[in-house]
Structure 1
Amino acid sequence: MRLMFAASCFVLLAACGAPTQTAEPTPEEMGQDEPGAPMEPAPAPRPVTFEAMSKTAEAFTGAITLSVEPRPGPNAAPRMKIVGANGLTFITELLPGAAEQASLINWKEIFGEDVVVSGNAPPGAPSIDMHSVIQEDVPGTALNGGFCGKDTPTSFIAMATGLDSVGQKYMSIAAFKGDAWPPTSADVLCGTFNYIPPAAPL
């Protein structure tokens, strides 16, 4: 019985007496990174699909799916991908502060209500994010072309969120043409496209 007990103590070191000398576990074995190792980036949000609400949205894209694109570098602006049900695709880059710079654009007239153009919108208030379009792919299935039509590339988009129409929350995309932002005139607007966000989980 004593021999069996001694053997058990050898296997289960913590069960009997003083522990034997063992090597310290490495940080990797403990599930830790080495000192100074870069932190792993947080996983990208899942793609989100918005249903077409306005007739222009139905005609130009149908439902759209928004997803986060990898940044080309650690200091690069966030990028986003927009894919329409008809295959129309945009890759955009965020332009912080760009909506506020566009003094010639009447945002209330475009979106139908007051929107916050600065970066300090109160929670739930309608607000705008500006994006430059760095890639626009218009397949043959996109019969009306891109947001600015068949012959004019889309250069910039303003995404207004938190808008409300008779109790229905929605997002609106205003598309702009032109080579520079802020624009030097107000006639660069191509159109607006309204979408219904997915229902919040119960």
Structure 2
Amino acid sequence: MDFLEFQSFVETDDLLVSHIRRHFSSPIQRERKGGRICSNQGKVLLIKKGTLALRYNNRHRDVICQLYSKDAFVYSTILNDERFYLEALENIEYVEFSLDEFSLQLEEDQLFSHFLATILSSEEQAMKNRLILETEKLENRLFYAIEMIFENLYGHKMEEAEETIYVLPAWLKIKTLASFANASVVAVSRNLQGFSKKRAYRNKNNYLEG
């Protein structure tokens, strides 16, 4: 099994998260909905419960460019940029580790390269999201944001959906969706009215139709 095959196995089977739970201990920390979490390059967060958003300020509008949910690692060099911050979209629980100690132990366990690949993949995705949310037209941004939320919630893309109806989280309101789509609430509301005619989406009582 080569590196990429093993990396896929690590991600699919949550091997890295399971290993950390067995060999690392750290007190559970909590943050209420709407609270901000301070993190820097010396710390790694592991989400135990809830959803965390990576936000940044873009021309006086705060945009969500990445989501972190249960079992996700949070570590990003862009958090050193004062425009970026982490916000809890709902009440969350997480544990925090020292990057130095964390890295040394994972190196001994021959898992550090896989942890690094996971982190770099997440950061690359955040940068891709940011590019799309700043350059595409609103309809495309809106659909991309919905795809991003769906994949974070259910682990697969909308075109791979097997169920007919999916329940959306309580934190997903029009205002939050506008933050994802890098648009005003008025613009998002207007676009959603005719969205189902062009896309496989229906917004009604917090349900998503595939």
Report if TM-score (shorter chain) is over 0.5. no
Structure with higher helix content: 2
Q: Which has the higher contact order (CA 8 A, sep 6+)?
A: 2
Shorter-chain TM-score tier: under 0.3
Q: Which protein shows a greater Rg?
A: 1
* TM-score of the pair, normalised by structure 2: 0.22
More strand by share: 1
